[in-house]
Chains A and B, each alone.
Chain A
Amino acid sequence: MGLAGEATDGEVVRAVLGGEVERYAVLVHRYRDRYARYAARMLGSRDAGEDAVQDALVRAFDRLADCREPAKFAGWLFLILRNRCFAERRRRQREGRPLDERDDGVAGADRPDGTLEQTERMRALERSLAHLTPEQRDVFVLKHVEGLAYEEIAARTGATVASLKMRMHRAYDRLRDLMKEHL
């Protein structure tokens, strides 16, 4: 058994469930940034993503006894975060506010690595992503932002590869329509 920071997820989860509440900080530190980009791209801003990650980590603690496979804490936490992002997106759609108004997307306005045209295209894509369904945006972010293969997304989400492809292909068509002035 090594230092707390080197303990496996399973060991930490069991320790927390055994009453060592402070050990949960290991999991917070380990996973706070891993899914930050996913959450930010799902919700359109870093701030909204941070709120979602924070909420997911608290919910995971509250429901830790339900984590049947402590060694797979990371995947379980991701599903909690994903559900949180879906719920937030649906709430905003009901309110007619698909994009976080505090921050016009996460694409920077003055990126040093791109032309003005490229930067504008990135921002247009970010705005367009806000018009996809949560399910379409989810698969788009996981594949094209996180770089996962369909099979990896299927393993992570429980969906079939065929259904993921169908969602993605509909997203491509929708994005082409939304982005036609920028392509």
Chain B
Amino acid sequence: MSLGYHPLVKQLLDGELSLADLPLELRAEGAEALRLIGAVDRTSVVLSPALDDRVMAVVRRHAGSPARRAWHWLAAPRDVELRLRLRPVVWAGALAIAAGVALLLLARTPVATPVPASVARGGARDSVFVRFVLYAPGARHVAVAGTFNQWDLNAAPLARAGSSGVWSTTLALPVGQHQYAFVVDGERWVADPAAPAIDDGFGRRNSMVAVTARGAHTL
């Protein structure tokens, strides 16, 4: 049977009390606990001098990759506005063309960098279309959950664009501020790296998007 330390001894280990602060009957336990902490190895660790060169060799390879340049181009357009003065059918056509351009690029240069994401924006008279994009090449399933769908993991799945690793969906969101996160394979919550995030109070980070009648933007 395991026997834990007395709460006062734990305070001793935390540095909040000294051994002399403990009642006499706890001093032996306190001394034992200090022997445990005294066994901590604080010696510094020296890494191989070759590490710098190894890292930079990989970095140069990655920097020169057309995939990286293509992804940066694709991930950058956070300010792409799809103005919703257009009729929905025209808007859908515009979106298809934009997506087609992006996918053509991706099809020619498969991306190898992990998990960037972005939100492309559009507006409508009574709702605003927000496009969610996540790059997750190893994922089997991706969804976006947020305050707009009561954090339902199944309400808004993203569609994979071929074998490019890019997943996307477009949702009509009501005006207001919304928190959201991507859910990869039904269990891994991923904040949008392209949008600021806030702590949800439970150890997770949620992204923020503000929707107005004139469009949407990340917060």
Contact = CB atoms under 8 A, between A and B. Distances in A.
A73 B38 CA distance: 33
B41 A179 contact: no
B191 to A, nearest CB: 10
Nearest to B57: A58
Interface residues of B, number: 47
Interface stretch (B44-52, B141-149, B174-182): B44-52
B52 A176 contact: no
B46 A122 contact: no
A32 B2 contact: no
Given A32-B52, A172-B13, A37 B44 contact: yes
A117 to B, nearest CB: 10
Contacts of A110: none
Secondary structure call for the A interface: helix
Interface residues of A, number: 57
Interface of B: 2-5, 7, 10, 13-14, 32-33, 35-48, 51-52, 54-56, 58-60, 62-63, 68, 72, 75, 113-116, 193-194, 196, 199, 203, 205
Given A46-B45, A50-B48, A124 B58 contact: no
Interface of A: 21-22, 24-25, 28-29, 32-33, 36-37, 39-41, 46, 49-50, 53-54, 57-59, 61-63, 65-66, 68, 106-108, 111, 118, 121-122, 124-126, 143-145, 147, 150, 158-159, 163, 165, 168-169, 172-177, 179, 182-183
Given A63-B116, A173-B2, A107 B55 contact: no
Contacts of A158: 199, 203, 205
A181 B113 CA distance: 48
A-B interface, 5 closest residue pairs, ranked by CB to CB distance from nearest: A173-B4, A177-B2, A66-B193, A121-B39, A125-B39
